[in-house]
Structure formats: structure tokens, C-alpha cells
Amino acid sequence: MMLGLLTVLLAGGLEVRWTAPPTCERPDLSLLTSENGRAEVTITTPSAATWVLDLAFVEPFQATRHLELGSCTDARRAARALLLLGLKGAEAFRDEPPPSPPPLTASEPVPAPSPPPSSLHVTLRAGALGDAFAAPAVTPRFLVAAAVSIASFEGELAVRAGLPATFPGGPIDGAAISVWPTLGAEVAACLVLSPGRLVRPAACGTVLAEWWQLRGLGVSDPLGGSATLLGAGGQLKAVIALGDLLELVPFLNARAHLRRPSARFAGVSALDAGALSLEAGLAVGLRVK
């Protein structure tokens, strides 16, 4: 590469700093623009067949042009043509500053989409109730149940058991009948009136089956065996939410008995279950799904 010689000249209002090898003379710049400004021209020759022109307008704005040409003559002509364009012509290749990136802002993290709430719920319940009119006196029952609810519908299966109870009856004084309600099962289909609320009243249809063990007391020929009670009716209840998992369920049952247990000694009635029964109870539920 040949080292260039620096020449500074003023052509009109444009100051030109010209740097080129001694063998590459400066062209006539007498026709340059009269506008004020400053430009720098540098011509180098990395090889005999390559001449490089770098022209830069420095003031009143910045613009550059880089050309690779085949001879000094071509480099001189290109530099003269670009300078003759003047400041106005140089605006066509002025260096625009790159657009500044938008300011960084702390964006809030996009929350992950929540899964749709499930309309299917499974609840386990345990409770106690009092049964009136099925037997001669009010008798207690205990139950465990599993309930499945979907939107406004709830189905429940309950297993019930009771404590032994003894009632007087028979052909002689002191005779009695002992009742052991060993096992019972009740199915309920309910319409929930206000699904999704803290207090959800419901109306249900129910079917009940109970197996009673009967035994006579104080008679010479005691009765032993089993009898079945079948009934159907309705239930009113309220499911009261105690949080996300717990609930309290007061309920009231009314039922007609389609089949009733009975016991007789020597033709004398010792026990006849009532045609109707009423029950009131309370259960506590735990939602498992």
C-alpha cells in the first residue's frame, strides 16, 4: 500500500482534506458547492489493481461512502463527482444513526392458564340421626356415606346401623321384643338448588332398605329371625361449606314404608313397624375430589 499525502484546500465554503498517493493527483475541485462544511477524502491502493476511495462528509452532518475501483483515475473521478454533489447531494448517503431500541420495561409475568374448574366432586360423610314412628319409640341411627355431585345433581349412597332397642309386647306381662337394626342402605338422588354457593339447599328422592334382627324376651317360645323394612320418600337438606374441604349437612327425611317388620307371640302382636317415619339428623362431610 502506498502512503498518501495530505492536502487541505477550501473550495467554495467546503473544506476538503485530501489524502492520496503522490502518483494519484488531486482533480480540479473548483466547481464545488458554495455551502459551508467539511469533507475528508482518502485514496489508498492495497494492490496495483485495486484502488480504495473513502469519502466522508464531517460537517454539518456525517455521511460516508466506500468504493473499490480499478485505477487511480476512477478513484479521482468518483471522489470529484461525490464532492460536486455537495452537501445536499451527500444527504442521499448520510449515515443515519441506528434506531435506539425501545426502553426495557419490567413486564409482568404472564400467568399460566388455570385449568378449568372440575364440576365433579366426591365427598365422604359421617353422621347421626333419630328415627321416629318406624319403631314404637325414637331410635338412633349412625351412617357413613359417599356423595358424588355434578353441577346441580348429587347422588349419595349411605350405609346405616343402629343400636339395640327393646320394646314391651307379647301375650304376657314382662314379654318384650328386642330389635337389632343390623344393617341398612339408603340411596338418594338430589337436585341442588344453589350450586357453587356457601349454603346449598337440596331436595332429594330416597329409597331405604333395613334388615332388622328380632328376638322375643320373657316368653316360653321366643321369636328369632330377621325382617326387612323397605321405604321410599323425600329428603330436604342444606350443604353448608366450612372451607374448601369441610361441610356440614343438616337433613330431614320423610318416608312411607312399603314393607314393614312385624312380630307376634301366640297370635298377639309384639311389634308392628309404622307405615310412615320421620328422621332428622346431621352429617359432617370431607371433600376428597
3-state secondary structure of 86: helix
Q: Are both 152 and 226 inside the same structural domain?
A: yes
Task: Give me the DSSP letters along 54-83.
Answer: EEEEEESS-EEEEEEESSHHHHHHHHHHHH
**pLDDT tens digits, 253-285:** 999 999 998 887 777 777 888 899 999 999 999
Report whether 84 contacts 27 (CB < 8 A). Answer: no
Q: Which of 82, 81, 77 is nearest to 65 (CA)?
A: 82
> Is residue 103, in this structure, part of any structural domain at all?
no
Specify the pLDDT at position 112: 62
Lowest-confidence region among 53-62, 169-178, 202-211, 217-226 = 217-226
C-alpha 30, offset from chain centre? 78
Q: Are both 141 and 200 inside the same structural domain?
A: yes
**pLDDT tens digits, 36-69:** 778 888 988 888 788 898 988 887 777 888 888 8
C-alpha 259, offset from chain centre? 51
Neighbours of 116 (CB within 10 A): 6
Specify the pLDDT at position 209: 95
Report whether 209 contacts 245 (CB < 8 A). Answer: no
Q: Are both 238 and 171 inside the same structural domain?
A: yes
Q: Are both 150 and 283 inside the same structural domain?
A: yes
C-alpha 84, offset from chain centre? 70
Taking CB atoms within 8 Å and a gap of at least 24, the contacts of 60-67 are: 60/36, 60/87, 61/87, 61/91, 61/94, 62/94, 62/95, 63/90, 63/91, 63/93, 63/94, 63/95, 64/93, 64/95, 65/93
Q: Are both 159 and 48 inside the same structural domain?
A: no
Helix (H) or strand (E) holding 88: helix 72-90
CA distance 18 to 10: 11
- Cα angle 198, 285, 148 (rounded to 5 degrees) comes to 85
CATH number at residue 174: 2.40.160.20
Report whether 29 contacts 11 (CB < 8 A). Answer: yes
> Is residue 75, in this structure, part of any structural domain at all?
yes
**pLDDT tens digits, 65-102:** 888 888 888 888 888 888 777 655 555 555 555 556 66
Report whether 134 contacts 277 (CB < 8 A). Answer: yes
Q: Are both 201 and 131 inside the same structural domain?
A: yes
Q: Are both 81 and 16 inside the same structural domain?
A: yes
> Which range of residues forms the domain containing residue 31?
5-93
Segment 102-109 shows an average pLDDT of 61
pTM of the model: 0.56
Q: Is the pLDDT of residue 32 over 70?
A: no
Specify the pLDDT at position 202: 93
Q: Which of 226, 213, 210 is nearest to 159 (CA)?
A: 210
Q: How far is CA 206 from CA 46, 152, 191, 248, 270, in A?
A: 103, 17, 12, 20, 29
Q: Are both 146 and 266 inside the same structural domain?
A: yes
The tally of domains found in the chain comes to 2
**pLDDT tens digits, 164-193:** 888 887 777 778 888 887 889 999 999 988
Specify the pLDDT at position 129: 93
**pLDDT tens digits, 108-142:** 566 666 555 557 889 999 999 999 988 888 999 99
